[in-house]
Every structure is written in C-alpha cells, then in structure tokens.
Amino acid sequence: MRLRAAPGSQPGLWRALPCPQAELRLELVLRSGQAFRWRESSPGAWSGVLAGRVWTLRQERERLWYTLYGDGDGAPGADTDQILRDYFQLDVGLRELYRAWGDADPLFRQVARDCPGVRVLRQDPVECLFSFICTSNNHISRITAMIERLCQAFGRRLCCLDAQPFHAFPSLSALTGADAEARLRALGFGYRAKFVSGSARALAEGIGAEGLCGLRAAPYAEARRVLCALPGVGTKVADCVCLMALDKAEAVPVDTHIWRIARQRYGMALGGKSLTPRAHQEIGDFFRGLWGPRAGWAQAVLFCADLRKGQEPAGSRDQAWESRGRDSCRDKPR
C-alpha cells in the first residue's frame, strides 16, 4: 500500500497480536454491518479509523497484524495492542461460546460451521449511535457513503492512503451548529438530518458524550430507555448501540430480517405481518432464553451466516442490509 500522508504524519511499523481465526475472522466481522468505515484497501488488508488514528489490519492464521498512520505518539506498542484488543473484545473466548450456543441450538450449530470467528465489536458510543441512526430505511452502500460524507464534512482530516482521505468521526459539538441540519440535508441525509442534529443537541444539552459512554455501567433496560428518548432512535437502533458500544451482550437487535428468521426458522408464532414493539420484545426474550447472556453475540453469528448465503447474485447483500436497516417503531420518518 502506498501512503500519502497528511503533514506531520508517518506510517508506523507492523505489529502482531496472537489471534486464531477461530476467535476472529476479520473479513466477516468488518463486513457484518456493525461498523461502516472499514475499507478493504487491498486484498486481505482493511483500513479504517479507530481511536483517532488510521489503521490497516491484516490477518494470518494465528496472528492479527496492524500498522497505524496519521498523527500519533510513536510506533505501535502495548497501548495500541490494548485498543485493538478492546475493539474486538478479544478477552472474550469465542470458541467456548460457539460450543455452548451449538449445544443449546442445533440450528446455530448447523449454520455456524461456515461462519467461525464472528464477534461483536466494542465501538465508540457516539460513532455507533449516529452511524445506526443513518441505517433507518437504508442499505449498506448508501449507509457507508452517508457516513463517509458526514466525516468529511464535519470531522478532522487525518491522512490520505492511496488517494483516499480518512477523517475522524465528528464530535458532538461539530454536529450541533445552527446550520448542521441544513448541511446534512445538502449531503443527502434527507429526514435523517433532523435526527442526527437533534440527537447531537439532545446529548450535548443532556448527558453528553461522557454520559453516553457511562451507560456502559447502567442496566440494559436503563440504557435502552435513555437511547430511545433521542430523536430518531427506536428499539432496533437502541439495541444495536447497546450491543455494539455499551457492553449489553444480551441486547438482540430485531429488524424485519431477524423477525423472518424467528418465524421461519425457529417457528415463533408472531401475530401480524410486520414487526411490532411486542414482537420485538418476544423475539429478544426468546433468543435470550435460548442462547443465554450473550444472545446478541449469537444473533450476530446467525445473521452473518445468513448474509453470506445471500451474497450471490450481485445486489443481494444490499437487499439483506436494507432489511437490517428497517425498524417498525420510531426510526421511521415523522
């Protein structure tokens, strides 16, 4: 990879973490719709922004290699190892979880054979929240493009790799300006513009970024309640943030895709032809009873396996993600 760095930035050295592929399959996790800012910059190499730095990741059978670019304090070391371990939650033993889920659920055991190493990311709560606000009634290519435009317009430029610029995710203060909503509409956010700017203002005037991060220590129901009070945040978006940023491993994001899986594959008798708040709760409770306290992690594996089956023909991935981006509750235009 050729680096064209911003002034003052330097490419770092490559460093490796022990990481068997049974514990992490990089190409599956970074394509699983949890985060939208990782690019496959060359075959097997993924570049993205994490903790205010630009990273490139590669994986061998037993190692996860990484290097960093942009402004920073020296070469990769123990601190950057810990950032990566925290992001991928590598202290959670995945093989043991797969075994337990498979023992409890023959369907999980069947589909997980072809989908090893899928784990839940531990993301920055602000980035995760605003990213998932953008998923409402949307598909993966548009979500990725929208978030990229958001970062370019409101975030700090970090560096440029192979003529592709990388920006930090915007701060709350950057999204609370008087013209923020108008600028977002000009960027193609449509009705989501008022949700992004409105949630940024609500957080800035309320618990702030620190308080949002502090919800990691709150009970799941409390964190979900606080999130659902924000503009454009319904139960699906709240559960995504709870699971992928706020340490609520029991949170099971339910959209029309998971609703269909619950009905068609698990035989749940759910009334009606659409996802209702009651059905959302019933499905989450069912999977928590089946898979246990990390039910959200197991759901991520099942969804990833289903997504992989639908990747051909071309275009089916976006259709699958479009279903994942829908919510029947408060994520609709209003």
Beta bridge partners of 54: 49, 69
Helix extents (H) in 162-255: 180-186, 192-205, 208-214, 220-228, 235-245
Tokens standing for residue 302: 């099942």
- In what helix (H) or strand (E) does residue 74 lie, and over which residues does it extend? none
Burial of 140 (0-12, 13-18, 19+ CB in 10 A): buried
Q: CA-CA distances (angstroms) from residue 92 to 27, 210, 290?
A: 19, 25, 20
Beta bridge partners of 58: 45, 65
The structure tokens 């925290």 sit at: 86
Instruction: Single out the catalytic residue among 236, 248, 309, 332.
Output: 236
Tokens standing for residue 323: 């279903």
Beta bridge partners of 49: 54
Measured at the alpha carbon of residue 250, what is the angle toward residues 247 and 255, in degrees to the nearest 5?
Answer: 105
Helix count and strand count (H, E) for the chain? 15, 8
User: Is 175 in contact with 154 (CB distance < 8 Å)?
Assistant: yes
194 is catalytic: no
| Catalytic positions | 236
